[in-house]
Structure 1
Amino acid sequence: MSDQTKTAPMVLVDGSSYLYRAFHAIPPLTTSDGQPTNAARGVISMIRSLIGKYPESPIVVIFDAKGKTFRDEIYSEYKAQRPPMPDDLRLQIEPIHRMIEAMGLPLVIIEGVEADDVIGTIAKQVGEAGRDVIVSTGDKDMAQLVTDKVTLVNTMTDTVMDIAGVKDKFGIPPELIIDYLALMGDKVDNIPGVPGVGEKTALALLQGIGSIKDIYERLDDIAPLGFRGSKTMSKKMEDNRDMAELSYTLATIKCDVELPFDMHALKNEPANKEVLREWFQKLEFKTWLRDIDKAPMAAGTTVNDSDEGEDTPAVSDIEVQYETVLDKSQFNQWLEQLNQAELVAFDTETTSLNYMQAELVGVSVAIEAGKAAYIPVAHDYEDAPEQLDRDWVLEQLKPWLEDEGKAKVGQHLKYDANVLNNYDITLRGIKFDTMLESYVFNSTGTRHDMDSLSSKFLGHSTVKFEDIAGKGAKQKTFNQIDLEQAAFYAAEDADITLRLHQAILPKLEKTPELVSVFSDIELPLVPVLAKMEQTGALIDPDRLHAQSAEIASRLQEVEIKAHEEAGQEFNLSSPKQLQEILFEKQGLPVIKKTPKGQPSTAEPILQELAENYELPRLIMEHRSLAKLKSTYTDKLPEMIQHTGRIHTSYHQAVTATGRLSSTDPNLQNIPIRTQEGRRIRQAFVAPEGHKLVAADYSQIELRIMAHLSQDKGLLDAFAHDEDVHKATAAEVFEVAVDDVTAEQRRRAKAINFGLIYGMSAFGLAKQLGISRPEAQKYVQRYFERYPGVRTYMETTRENAKEKGYVETIFGRRLYLPEIKARNAMMRQAAERTAINAPMQGSAADIIKRAMIKMHNWLADTDLGVKMIMQVHDELIFEVAEKDLEAAQAKIIDIMQNSTEIDVPLLVEAGVGDNWDEAH
């Protein structure tokens, strides 16, 4: 053993903490035979990373034992509310343990105590013996262990917490963390705490007086502290002394556990490569399999779920050269390199995520892996160094930024394009976008932010914004951040973006259909969405204010009715009061229970009860109105920007199917079926001299079903422009088309759309209010009349199980990691998704293609037309009244002919002074 090994810190890994965090942080992943692997990937990846960072250190991994601990004997409710471990997590524990042992690491599990207690005991004794200890955990309770010898490391967020770090994070030193937890309690562990004491009160007590022991000796000193509730707090503390003492005991990590080994002899053994190889093969960790013979656990390697691609050098293997550009000579040298480079990674740093309000603080560029620069222009904290003038920098960069021939890559470049637009610069030459490359490669494989992508594809943990800016109310904006820290963060963003592109593109290029989705749909859509966002939509705040007032009045009426129905006043938002009134006093049937065994008052439950009982119906009405008021009628007027319009943000890389989503405001969720929802749409208005045109694809998913299934009956119905719901009703109910009743058409419509969404006969029966046998008869007759649909569904399910994904018409893939899950409900949900996703995804692709063609036409036309919104299968335009007829005809033509499938695409367009009138 080397001297360095003897003096290197001992690393204690909180395996149980990382087990749950990995399971919930990483999307569901399975092997080809359905074995879940996400937690195993996350935990082993974290340990591999630790080995790389602490190559000379003994690394000990500690897990909770099965069964109860001494805390359960002290307090029977301890952790009692926690739901049982998910089956898909339980199945991964044994493989994780065996892999850790095969890696040559000590695995410690001691019955009767928690992993925290074992870690606390080892840390205390090793620290007292003079050796440094690193505790790798994500558990805030562990902060009580921090000393000058014991430090916490959170591998998932790449943060370190020493004594100063504890004080910065919690506002108190490590020796008061137990008191802090005891005072405010812990909902996760069901530690009761002192009633009425939350985080702020606990801090006020501890900072003002000291420990719990000190507080009880100085109860009279509480009132003068002056925090909210301080005058009554001494009595609460006195009345709950037993609870405080119990909570203190429960929150205290036991540091005197009897250990069945000599902790000073703990060391790492050589890895058992054969056992590791066996597990990596079984769990299909292909990248790690390739690593086994290179080095047992090489630094810089981490989980890479995309094993089809080329190996990418670890970021740590490349020496970085990051420059901060502060003078014109240095700037000009970089500008020359930008103009000569084949591809440049580009990024902006700003004061806000809101692109309409963001001010440019600096730009970063990278021209090759490891070589990047940050050009600051607006860091304005006290003593900030002199920087180049922002206007001058932008003037110099503008020709390069606007040159279509200068290829650029970025991470979410639409944001940067919008920011630059505020400075009269149109970003051109967008050749690649790493967020979209990852999204097209596998929309469900990971989140598509840079930090997640860097971890997944490069095995590198980037500097996080919170690391340099802080968190919460005290978080700094980028212009306030020390330039040295800001420069590395910004340059790394550009550098990692370039490396991500180099890592992901080869994976995409192995599947030509995915390259086409990226290059023909997603990337060309970026300037389209940017233009729509910049244009914004005009709203009438007076209408919304009036509606808010009316909803407030209606809410009061509904609340009074609910109180009358209940026979008493109560808080309509309180689950506890709802439980008492609905199930104890009114005796309504209990449909589902919470993990604690209480009757559930979740929205789906209340919705079901509302079908037969008045009080739940009133509660649901109240919730719906309150949500409309807070989300739209109150909020929309506050979102009007200096342009006099609202400017939403469209997101390309959020939904699994390829559909766009939007935020601030969320246009997709404005209700259409209620009068109140339609009135919100009435507030979206046309400017003077203009009308709104809303153009909507009619029954697009049914048309796609006809195309995909090639069912003759459906193809004929659409080819002859029949009412497809009437045609289905005629087939299912065996009547002539002209004799179909309105009720029969309604039921046929429910069947048509229900089957697209994978609805069972049970679900159909519930929706239509009929018996299950009757619903089953409808479904059976439907499939007899449309046998192509049944064949399509069966074939799609089988193909999805075999390949692990389904595809849209254009080759977009939706991976289904749960299609082979052992849990029947998860597997069936994946099967339903397999049926619907190709239709939803194809519909998304079709409207995106239409938007791209529309954008190109709008750039060339002399007609007064602006595309201002996209919602589901609908595009909304502002059109000058003088151009209305010509524009409407062209809009319909482009949308109907943007894509050719085996049935006609039909677009219906309406005109009005507001969105509701036009829809």
Structure 2
Amino acid sequence: MAKAEKLLLLDGNSLANRAFYALQLFSTSDGVYTNAVYGFLTMLFKLLDEEKPDYIAVAFDKGRRTFRTALYEEYKGTRKAPPDEFRPQLDLLREVLTALNIPWFRVDNYEADDLLGTLARQATERGIETLIVTGDRDALQLVGEKVTVALTRKGISETVRYDPATLKADLGLTPAQVIELKALMGDASDNIPGVPGVGEKTALKLLAEYGTVEGVYAHLDQIKGALQTKLRENRDKAELSRTLATIDTNAPVELKPAELRVREPDYPAANALFRRLEFKSLLPRVTPPEGSAAAEAVAGQAAAGAVEVVAARRIDQPGALRLTGEAPVLAEMTVDPGNPGRPRPVGLAAGDPPAWLEGEALADPAGLLDPAARLVGHDLKPLYNWLYARGVTPPEPAFDTALAAYLLDPGRSAYDLADLCRQHGLGELPAGSDPDARATRASVLPELRRRMEAELASRGMDRLYWEVELPLMPILAEMEVAGVGIDPAALHEMSGELERRILQLSQEIYEVAGVQFNISSPKQLGDVLFGKLGLPHGKKTRTGGYSTDAEVLEELAADYPIAQLILDYRTLTKLKGTYVDALGQLIARDGRIHTTFAQTVAETGRLASKDPNLQNIPIRIEEGRRIRKAFIARPGHVLLSADYSQIELRVVAHYSGDPALREAFLRDQDIHTRTAAEVFGVPMDQVTPDMRRQAKAVNFGLIYGQTDFGLARAVGISRAEAKAFIETYFTKFAGVKRYMEEKKAEAREKGYVTTLDGRRRPLPEINHRVFTIRQNAERMAINTPIQGTAADLMKRAMIAVRRAMREEGLTARMILQVHDELVFECPVNELDRLARLVKREMEGAMKLDVPLKVEAKAGPDWYSVQPYEVGTDA
């Protein structure tokens, strides 16, 4: 017997709406919102792969006016208008479907449900099986012998399928009774009135007994009390609701199998569209088979908009090229094998017009660069790193398009040169590794620079670019090359200590549990805690077990010692595996670790580090702090640590102008003690450690959106106490509250916030309809000017310090930047001069309404540094 053909029907409005709210709001580089389209397509392609349908169609609503609004003007009248970020995406989605050769329908006076129902009925009459995918439960009335409805849940990633048997098992209804249910109970989302006072439970009970609305009214005398009165007085509403809830399966749409058959995309159109929408991960779905006519068409289309190819000279001998003036340079880098943190170039497209240099041509970088040359490039730092490592001081950069792209669009995950050229109207860059393609990619840099410079100026970020981001890049490259000394013996000793402590914790856990098990297995741990020991459980995981994450364990720890033992076990195993043991694997041939400072990652402007990430070494516990003992100075040198004191709270004082906050910093008071004194209404000398601890949690928490629930958990007080504490705090520090409200209002008005230096962070979700998404954007609106200004300050300080070190002829090196701290490796005889210089330049790097304060420490290793008394300049 031949297998039945299958029709896949998709509810366009419903699924696009679900995708919009399921995914974070994102857009193309030129500002076109695409998250709903992208989410819809991921689900579409998944369904095509899994279902392999013979036919497909997508149905859309066409306006709010339908035959239902003619019957009842208030139908769907309570629905809010869709967000501005969503509406244009429906047109865009239909454009994409057309390019994919997927039929879609939209008919005046009818909803998508009616079109789906009509097509499903016609398919059933032809013996075709139908799968309807929607987020609308009304579609359950369409379930039949040959019709299955898949309802989306958890956004668009999961569906629940209903056939007549599962519908009966789940809801106790037949498909026809889905309509009867709506007739009785109504539907708030569609503003279908139903019978006032009849909810789902009552409606289901009535249908179980009488079958239909007609059956209910035929036996009205058997229904007693107020329910009978409600039904009798509102029969007209029940009948109206039944009509409104009924999907019309005779809409003016026709199933024509030849037109709905699944076909290959219009490859040239779809490929071009996906590139315009920057759907890189989906491009394989619209890439035609090699050698096909469609492949030739796509290639021809790309060629028509391509950048003109440059014929490159191929240079493989040193001395054949010398760069002068502002020279375009594009390096293709790789990692030096066996030497972590050290990049080296595979080749170099350089000059005007660019030549391609490789092999021996790269052996003499000093001979390649004229002292007066200035480089224009894309992501120049790895090249500068290599030059410093070869003993060559690179020329000052003229422009870096990756840094400019980061300032203009800080939320992107990557800054690909080809994407930037597309975005700025320069056309398609050639792919491939031949010298001409590489040289062509370098040739666009001067024009791309010109266009990006204009955009930086138009957004008021040109000063930030020229004074901060661009001059910082060579300093970071120099720091990466310098690296930091590591004592392998100290790491080995720490690893052994942690191993012994972990083993001890394991035995203690086994004793309390009464059984040995894999502590690192969430499933086995859940079985022991919630099954064998019977501890109170909380949220479930995706796999159906109970969560054993840190939040759950922290709640249990107060009453169940095993939970705290497991938390300690996890902390120490992470310390050992992620830091102590891993650091030992990253020591380069020079005995030092060379982290990479990421300048284009954080939307706030903060620097990050990777391979290894030195920002994340946990220092709140003693075992974490002791890892710093392995970071050592060379013989004859010491480490100098210079740390900004309470920098973000000082920025809050500047922004808010709060008198109490400003006075505390102007009088050099301990800010947490002063806060506690204000909130608890006691003199500062009567503030207890516990009072200060609560004040500290508030100072650092509230500017990051901490709630009363979060504060209560952080300091171990009741939620009511936390709520009262926060209310008192905002009464005493009214300027801080005013600042927070002003920043949220500014973000809502402009769609972005800025730092004192003009760094801009877009916040497209600030007016989002979903509360949690909008609330997160509000937190970022408050936090970004604070954290971003602190980041800009640190960058300015690094530039000022490095410039002063050169001017004074110091041989000390800046080697690390971690949060608000700079670390230097310094000859012992330069320590006093360096400490004075660093303190002076860091405290003067930016003018705030309150003074900046830097605390200096020195010692043989990063753990052992002690306060260093810095004298004044002579």
Residue 694 of structure 1 aligns with an amino acid whose one-letter code is S
Q: 1:587 — aligned with what?
A: 534
Identify if the C-alpha distance between structure 1 residues 458 and 373 changes in structure 2 by more than 3 Å, giving closer, same or farther: farther
Asked if 1:738 corresponds to 2:722, the answer is no
Q: Which residue of 2 aligns with 1:674?
A: 621
Which TM-score applies when normalising by structure 2?
Answer: 0.67
Whether contact under 8 Å (1:349, 1:360) holds in the other structure is yes
Change (3 A) 1:343 1:374: closer
Max radius of gyration: which structure? 2
Residue of structure 2 equivalent to 1:347: 331
Q: Deviations over 1:667-709 (max 9, x none)?
A: 1111111111111101111222222111110011111000001
Alignment partner of 2:664: what SS? helix
Residue from 429, 439, 445 that aligns with 2:396? 429
Contact 2:638 2:825 (C-alpha < 8 Å) held by counterparts? yes
Alpha-carbon spacing, 1:37–1:100, altered in 2? closer, same or farther (3 Å): closer
8 Å CA contact retained: 2:318, 2:362: no
1:752 and 1:870 map into 2 onto residues whose CA distance is 24
Q: 1:391 aligns with which of 363, 366, 372?
A: 363
Cα deviation for residue 847 of structure 1 reads 0.9
Partner of 2:786: 839
- Which residue pairs with 2:481 in the alignment? 534
Q: Which amino acid aligns with 1:672?
A: I
User: Which residue of the other structure, out of 738, 742, 755, is the alignment partner of 2:702?
Assistant: 755
8 A contact 1:356–1:418 mirrored in 2: no
Which residue does the alignment assign to 2:216?
none
The letter for the 1-side match of 2:388 is N
Residues 1:713 and 2:660 aligned together? yes
Give distance in 2, aligned partners of 1:317 and 1:36: 24
Instruction: Please list, as runs of the form range in 1=range in 2, the aligned pairs for 1:252-401 lying within 5 A after superposition.
Output: 260-262=257-259, 302-303=276-277, 316-326=304-314, 335=322, 339=324, 342-350=326-334, 352=336, 356-365=341-350, 367=352, 372-377=354-359, 389-391=361-363, 394=365, 396-399=367-370
Q: Is the 8 A contact 1:61 1:105 kept in 2?
A: no
1:616 aligns with 2:613: no
Instruction: Describe how 1:177-216 pairs up with structure 2 within 5 A.
Output: none
The alpha-carbon deviation at position 89 of structure 1 amounts to 12
**2:326–2:376: 8 Å Cα contact kept in structure 1?**
no
Q: Any idea what the Cα deviations from partners look like across 1:506-533, whole Å, max 9, x if unmatched?
A: 3212022x11111111111011111111
Q: 1:357 to 1:797 in 2, by over 3 A?
A: closer
1:504 pairs with one of 452, 455, 467:
452
Which secondary structure does the structure 2 equivalent of 1:855 belong to? helix
> Do residues 412 (structure 1) and 379 (structure 2) align?
yes
Residue aligning to 1:107: 103
Trace 1:854-893 onto structure 2 (pairs within 5 A): 854-893=801-840
Alignment match of 2:578 (pick from 631, 650, 659): 631
Give the secondary-structure state (helix, strand or coil) at the position aligned to 2:310.
strand
For 2:409, the equivalent position in structure 1 comes to 442
Contact 1:61 1:107 in 2 (8 A): no
User: 1:222-274 CA distances to partner (integer Å, 9 max, x unpaired)?
Assistant: xxxxxxxxxxxxxxxxxxxxxxxxxxxxxxxxxxxx982247898999xxxxx
Code of the residue aligned with 2:35 in structure 1: it is N
- Offset at 1:28? 2.6
Partner SS for 2:548:
coil
Aligned with residue 753 of structure 2, among 777, 798, 806? 806
Question: What is the CA-CA distance between 1:300 and the residue it aligns to?
Answer: 10
For residues 574 and 834 of structure 1, the distance between their equivalents in structure 2, rounded to whole angstroms, comes to: 39
Structure 1's 745 and 896: CA in aligned 2 closer, same or farther, altered over 3 A? same
Q: 1:913 to 1:408 in 2, by over 3 A?
A: same
Tell me if the contact between 1:36 and 1:821 (Cα under 8 Å) persists in the aligned partners.
no
Is contact 1:693–1:909 with CA below 8 Å preserved after alignment?
A: yes
Count of residues paired in the alignment: 656
Q: Helix, strand or coil: the match of 1:634?
A: helix
Aligned-partner Cα distance in 2 for 1:797–1:835:
7
Task: Quote how far apart the aligned CAs of 1:321 are.
Answer: 2.7
Output one character per residue of 1:493-516: Cα deviation in whole Å (capped at 9) or x when no partner.
42455554344333212022x111
Q: Is the 8 A contact 2:317 2:361 kept in 1?
A: no
Question: Counterpart of 2:276 in structure 1: which amino acid?
Answer: T
Q: Does 1:28 align with 2:10?
A: no
CA RMSD across the alignment: 4.3
Flag the 1:818–1:504 CA change in 2: closer, same or farther, 3 A.
Answer: same
Identify if the C-alpha distance between structure 1 residues 893 and 422 changes in structure 2 by more than 3 Å, giving closer, same or farther. Answer: closer
What code does the residue aligned with 2:103 have?
Answer: L
Say whether the 8 Å CA contact 1:325–1:376 is kept in structure 2: no
Per-residue deviation at 1:357? Answer: 4.1
What are the Cα deviations for residues 455-493 of structure 1, in whole angstroms up to 9, with x where unaligned?
A: 6555967677xxx7xxxxxxxxxxxxxxxx343553354
Q: CA deviation at 1:603?
A: 3.4
Displacement of 1:63: 7.3
Q: Does 1:573 align with 2:520?
A: yes
Counterpart contact for 1:36–1:88, Cα < 8 Å: no
Structure 2: how far apart are the matches of 1:622 and 1:461?
Answer: 53
Alpha-carbon contact 2:57-2:102 (below 8 Å) kept = no
User: Is the counterpart of residue 701 in structure 1 residue 698 in structure 2?
Assistant: no
Does the CA contact (< 8 Å) of 1:302 and 1:459 recur in 2?
Answer: no
Q: Is the 8 A contact 1:300 1:459 kept in 2?
A: no
| Percentage of pairs with the same residue | 38
Q: Which runs of 5+ in 2 are unaligned?
A: 1-9, 45-53, 61-82, 106-114, 118-122, 124-156, 160-254, 280-300, 867-874
Offset at residue 331 of structure 1 (A): 8.7
> What is the distance in 1 between the residues matched to 2:367 and 2:305?
34
SS in 1 for 2:258: coil
* 1:346–1:366 CA contact under 8 A, matched in 2: no
- Does residue 777 of structure 2 align to residue 830 of structure 1? yes
Q: 1: CA distance between counterparts of 2:475 and 2:22?
A: 33
Partner of 1:545: 492
| Shift in alpha-carbon separation, 1:300–1:620, aligned structure 2, 3 A | closer
CA distance in 2: counterparts of 1:544 and 1:462, whole angstroms:
47
Deviation, 1:299, is 8.0
Does the 8 Å CA contact 2:36/2:86 hold for their aligned counterparts?
no
Q: Residues 343 and 407 of structure 1 are in contact (CA less than 8 Å); yes or no, is this contact kept in structure 2?
A: yes
Contact 1:39 1:89 in 2 (8 A): no
1:651 match = 598
Q: Tell me: CA distance 1:302–1:792, structure 2 relative to 1, closer, same or farther (3 Å).
A: same
Distance of aligned partners of 1:661 and 1:22 in 2 relative to their CA distance in 1, 3 Å threshold: farther
Normalising by structure 1, we get a TM-score of 0.64
1:327: how far off? 5.4
Does the CA-based 8 Å contact 1:888-1:909 persist in structure 2?
A: yes
The residue number in structure 1 matching 2:545 is 598
Give the structure 1 partner of residue 865 of structure 2: 918
**Do the aligned partners of residues 731 and 505 (structure 1) sit closer, same or farther apart at CA in structure 2, a change above 3 Å counting?**
same
> Are 1:29 and 1:818, in contact at CA under 8 Å, matched by a contact in 2?
no
- What amino acid is the match of 1:38? N
Who is 1:778 aligned against? 725
- Cα 1:93–1:804, aligned 2, differ >3 Å: closer, same or farther? closer
What secondary structure, in the 3-state scheme, does the structure 1 residue paired with 2:356 have? strand
Equivalent-residue separation in structure 2 for 1:506 and 1:779 (angstroms): 45
Letter in 1 for 2:369: K
Secondary structure in structure 2 of the residue aligned to 1:670: coil
Bigger relative contact order, structure 1 or 2, given CA contacts below 8 A and separation 6+?
1
Q: Distance in 1 between matches of 2:22 and 2:807?
A: 46
